[in-house]
Amino acid sequence: MQEWLRAWEDDFVPSFWRAKNAMLQAAGTAFERHGVREGQQFVLMCLWREDGLSPGEIARRLGLSTPTVTRTAGRLEAAGLVERHPHPTDARLVSVRLTVKGRSLREALDREMNDLSDRALRGFAEEERESFRRMLDGMAANLRTPDREGTADGGG
How much is the pTM?
0.77
CA distance readout (Å), 39 to 31, 72, 146: 9, 9, 26
Segments in 11-105 forming alpha helices (H)? 12-32, 40-49, 55-62, 66-78, 100-104
Give yes or no for residue 93 having a pLDDT over 90: no
Q: What is the mean pLDDT of the chain?
A: 88
Measured from the Cβ of residue 8, the count of other Cβ atoms closer than 10 Å reads: 11
Name the residue with higher pLDDT: 13 or 49: 49
Q: What is the pLDDT of residues 12-25, one digit of tens each?
A: 888 888 999 999 99
Q: How far is CA 17 from the centre of its chain?
A: 16
Give yes or no for residue 51 having a pLDDT over 70: yes
Yes or no: say if 137 and 129 are a contact pair by the CB < 8 Å rule: no
Give yes or no for residue 134 having a pLDDT over 90: yes
Q: What is the pLDDT of residues 106-125, one digit of tens each?
A: 999 999 999 999 999 999 99
